[in-house]
Structure 1
Amino acid sequence: MGVFLGIVLFALLIGISIALHELGHLATAKMFGMKVTRYFIGFGPRIWSFRRGETEYGLKAIPAGGFCEIVGMTALEDVPPADQHRAFNRQKTWKRVVVLSAGSITHFIVGFIVLYFMAWTMGIPNLRDTAQIAEVAPCVQSSADAECAPGAPSPAKDAGFQVGDVILAVAGTATPTWSDVLDKTQKRFGTTEFKVLRDDREITLTADVARIDREVRRADGTRYKTEVGAIGIIHQRNFEYNPVTAIGGATAFTGTMFENTWRGLINFPQKIPAVVEAIGGGERDIDSPVSVVGASRLGGEAVDRGLWQLFWLMLAGLNFFVGVFNLLPLLPLDGGHIAVNLYERVRNWIRKLRGLPDGAPVNYLRLLPLTYLVIFVGGAVTLLTITADIVNPIRLFQ
């Protein structure tokens, strides 16, 4: 039941994000005095609608997006003389770009708001694996739940490590992540130098690395005991904030999300073959692309297990991804329309420098083959991911 409710909630929030995307186009178009005739969520047959002023608002049967119809979106449209001055293609270029980008900007705002409330109420996970210390243990422990024996060594405490320190290097080797710190420390024994960032100052601490028996997990899941080096520090896995500091925390994490989104888009094409293999029964990679169906299912699993932080993180990530993807300079995406409008502006500026009049508006009919190709490829990828999410879904919890 928890999974079902989580799926419904995640799908509903995705629908709200889509509605807000189109509302961004609607609001900015009306702000600039453009005529908006229709605002609908979904496609296909009309389910319900109402008219307010010159705009019809409503829902359609197929929940696969939405649209905001603005008069004169291209020069090919036949615009009544009375609406010529309010047509989209008659407005200044910067106004058109604002309207076209408003949908993606709305996604970015939604994503930031989600991250802000996450930071304030439940904290933000350390996705960068930053080597920051959350706690200095009173001793070196063989496991997280082990108790400290009286007089047990505490190398980190003796060396002067403090909560909030970020370890930059171990024995002269840079350690950009906590995994690097563990790797370098576990191989050490005895006196070792640690370069630490504290209050924006780099300092050097010397710790006597102890050797302890610790259980290690192999790649196949089996465990064994081995001797490793340790100094008694605990990783900062979650960053917590108050209502004020959450603004900075959410802003910094938004940058991380944008970076991950861009990296995901670049690597997207090479991950498609793995999706095809998964449909045929191959192992489904947790990093493989997912559809809205798969994302909703993962959201349902998160809710069922009470992992609300993961639920909201996926929702924020989806908003950032859709926002960035929609700005790609490809028709029929908003980014494609932005590219066309900017091209016309730059071309006319060059013509003006040469003493020539403005050129004719871009003929969208000539761009139809490329537009159809983008639609075909996008549709094919969507069908592939939906199929994979049904027959071989990603499972976060086995």
Structure 2
Amino acid sequence: MTTLMTILGIVVFVLGLLFSIAWHELGHLTWAKVFKVRVPQYMVGFGPTIWSRRKGDTEYGVKAIPLGGYIRMIGMFPPGADGKVTARSTSPWRSMIEDAREQSYEEIQPGDETRLFYTRKPWQRVIIMFFGPFMNLILAFVLFLVVLMGFGIPQAQPTISLVEKCVVATNSTAAQTGTCGATDPETPAAAAGLRAGDKITSFDGVTVTSYDQLQNQIRQHPDDQVTLGIERNGQSLTKTVKLTTNTLQAIDSNGNPTEGTVKAGFLGIAPITPTVQLGIGQSLDQMGSMASQGVSSIVALPSKIPSLWGAAFEGKQRSLDSPVGVIGVARVGGDVLAMHAPASARIATMLQLLAGLNLSLFLLNMLPLLPLDGGHIAGALWEAVRRRAAALFKRPDPGPFDVAKLMPVAYVVAGIFLCFTVLVMIADVVNPVHVG
């Protein structure tokens, strides 16, 4: 049964990925047609075509490899300085430019002269290119709202579910087995007589409003004597506790575990973690936090390469915040549906996984680099700036900005992305990330 649910989870994720890609390309297609750019192809996937159908002047289809998608618009690049499209050159860099220019014109038919992408106003090109990733952002927003407001998410509360008996390091064998040795000291919580069900209401006179706040305060006071306000069975109590220092899992500013351990203050309690449905304001705050974490993760991608290499080729442990690719996320999707948890929790986790995927697609595609959508947006914006400056200083119109000249850069960027994708794929196969 577990194997069946794992396979089902992978299939569900792949279908969700295909829908996300199709939804992305639909954003490009819709606005290309609004601004009367001819689109010969709308394809989900790469490689051999499995199915296609022509409607109007566009061929709609699905290809064999579900790792992306595209729409083909004619006239993506303007003609060269000589007004020609197929001029040749012995320079390999120049050939890249001319090949890209030629490909964007290879399907031009009589009457298409007014339907070329590059002839559209810069703001129209920005809309066409922006609405692909924006569709992913819309989908992520809707899915996150469904999860946060409909299903709810586990939220740790400053109420004790378990008092740990002894002080053991997070990365020790004793922590994994839950056993105490004869020489392991008693935890401050056990020594102070704290019990399961106690709600911690204050820390050294400061009102406690969340478990994250309490956790940060405990960690910041190693070996300090502190006063805790407790609510027990409807009665208010005060407990004086001598905290200790312990080796704990490192966390980020949002309380999420990160790679490595730290020495920090330790009390020795585990919180209750009920599933809480959030209001619209709380949901927006949560999504803002997720978007901020997504941006930080993308910025940090280069720094993850050494640990990915170690996980892929040196047998090192895969870090908690390691990037995962399509294969890795699909396997996580399989793990999610195979978890021993209520169906609602598994569905919510799968939806959150797909929401995170779409948020990542939005953030990555907005990078101002060719061949990403953000690179075309940057080119259109630069053209608008040049033309506005020329008009302001009464100079001749400089004409369209030739994005084709950036194709050598696009090939370098694509090569870097390809190498990183292959590295992540290998790590996902030989040393995958699992959830439980």
Is TM-score (shorter-chain normalized) higher than 0.5? yes
Deviation at 1:183, TM superposition (A): 3.4
Matched to 1:19, the amino acid is A
How far the C-alpha of 1:116 sits from its partner, in A, is: 1.2
Q: What is the DSSP-based 3-state SS (H/G/I as helix, E as strand, rest coil) of the residue aligned with 2:49? A: strand
The CA distance in 2 between the partners of 1:114 and 1:372, in whole Å, is: 34
Alpha-carbon distance in structure 1 between the residues aligned to 2:387 and 2:69: 33
Partners of 2:266 and 2:282 in 1: CA distance: 34
Question: C-alpha distance in 1, partners of 2:227/2:316?
Answer: 48
Q: Tell me the CA shift for residue 367 of structure 1.
A: 1.4
Aligned to 2:98: none
The answer as to whether partners of 1:210 and 1:229 remain within 8 angstroms in 2 is no
**Structure 1 residues without counterparts, runs of 5 or longer:** 145-151, 162-166, 195-205, 220-226
Say whether residues 1:274 and 2:307 are aligned partners: yes
2:322 paired with 1:288? yes
**Count of residues in correspondence between the two structures:** 350
Shift of 1:170: 4.2
- What are the superposed Cα offsets for residues 326-379 of structure 1, whole Å, 9 maximum, x if unpaired? 110110000000011111110111111121122132334421211110111111
Secondary structure, counterpart of 2:111 in structure 1: helix
Contact 1:187–1:229 under 8 Å retained in 2? no
Answering whether residue 107 of structure 2 is matched by residue 73 of structure 1, we say no
Residue from 61, 64, 67 that aligns with 2:67: 64
Taking structure 1 as reference, are residues 295 and 217 closer, same or farther at Cα in structure 2, changes over 3 Å only? same
Are residues 191 and 270 of structure 1, via their aligned partners in 2, closer, same or farther at CA, if it must alter by over 3 Å?
closer
Cα distance, 1:80 vs structure 2: 4.6
Residues 272, 289 of structure 1: 8 Å contact kept: no
User: Within 5 A, what are the aligned runs for 1:301-312?
Assistant: 301-305=335-339, 306=341, 307-308=345-346, 309-312=348-351
Deviations 1:151-203 (A, max 9, x none): x989x9899x4xxxxx7x74579996342144368966575689xxxxxxxxx
C-alpha displacement of 1:218: 6.8
> Cα distance 1:192–1:373, how it changes in 2: closer, same or farther (>3 A)?
same
Contact 1:186–1:229 (8 Å) recurs in 2: no
Deviation at 1:142, TM superposition (A): 3.5
Deviating more after overlay: 382-391 vs 180-189: 180-189
Q: What residue in structure 2 maps to residue 264 of structure 1?
A: 297
Structure 2 CA distance for partners of 1:186 and 1:122, relative to 1, 3 Å: farther
Matched residue, 1:381: 420
| Structure 2 residue corresponding to 1:177, chosen from 192, 213, 220 | 213
Which amino acid is 1:177 matched to? Q
Q: How does 1:218-367 map to 2 (within 5 A)?
A: 238-241=275-278, 245=279, 247-280=280-313, 281-305=315-339, 306=341, 307-308=345-346, 309-367=348-406
Would you say the 8 A contact 2:204–2:226 is kept in 1?
no
Letter in 2 for 1:342: L
What stretches of structure 2 of length at least 5 have no aligned partner?
Answer: 80-103, 166-192, 231-235, 250-264
> Are the equivalent residues in 1 in contact too, given 2:225–2:243 (CA < 8 A)?
no
Q: What is the 5 A alignment of 1:196-211?
A: 208-211=238-241
TM-score, structure 2 as length reference: 0.71
Task: Check 1:61–1:192 CA distance in 2 against 1; reply closer, same or farther (3 A cut).
Answer: closer
Aligned counterpart, 1:105: 134
TM-score, normalization by structure 1: 0.77
Distance 1:367 1:258, change over 3 A: same
Q: 2: distance between equivalents of 1:269 and 1:208? A: 49
Identity %: 33
By how many angstroms is 1:272 displaced?
A: 0.8
Over 3 Å counting, the alpha-carbon distance change for 1:233 and 1:64 in structure 2 is closer
Counterpart residue identity of residue 354, structure 1: F
In 2: Cα distance, 1:384 partner to 1:336 partner: 24
Q: Which residue type is aligned with residue 272 of structure 1? A: I
Alpha-carbon deviations, 1:90-122, whole Å to 9, x = none? 222222111101111111111111111112332
**CA distance in 1 between partners of 2:163 and 2:433 (Å):** 34
Of the candidates 55, 61, 80, which is equivalent to residue 52 of structure 1? Answer: 55
Query: What is the distance in 1 between the residues matched to 2:194 and 2:361?
Result: 51
1:49-198 alignment to 2 at 5 Å? Answer: 49-76=52-79, 77-78=104-105, 79-80=108-109, 82-126=111-155, 133=158, 142=163, 161=201, 170=204, 177-183=213-219, 191=227
Cα distance in 2 for residues equivalent to 1:181 and 1:349? 54
Would the aligned equivalents of 1:189 and 1:209 in 2 still touch at CA under 8 Å?
Answer: no
Q: Distance in 2 between matches of 1:213 and 1:193?
A: 15
Question: What secondary structure sits across from 1:177 in the alignment?
Answer: helix
1:278-322 Cα offsets, whole Å, 9 max, x none, are 112111112111110001101111110045233322221111111
Q: Could you give the per-residue CA deviations for residues 36-64 of structure 1, whole angstroms, max 9, x where no partner exists?
A: 22111112222211111121101112222
Q: Structure 1's 336 and 193: CA in aligned 2 closer, same or farther, altered over 3 A?
A: same
CA shift in 2, pair 1:183/1:238, >3 Å: farther
Q: Alpha-carbon deviations, 1:101-147, whole Å to 9, x = none?
A: 11111111111111111123320344xx7xx65x5x7xx97469xxx
Match of 2:40, SS? strand
Contact 2:46 / 2:63 at 8 angstroms: preserved in 1? yes
Q: How far apart in 2 are the matches of 1:229 and 1:393?
A: 33
Letter in 1 for 2:216: D
1:171 to 1:69, Cα distance in 2 relative to 1, 3 A:
same
- Superposed displacement of residue 382, structure 1: 0.7
CA spacing shift, 1:218–1:285, aligned 2, 3 Å: closer
Secondary structure of 2:44's partner? strand
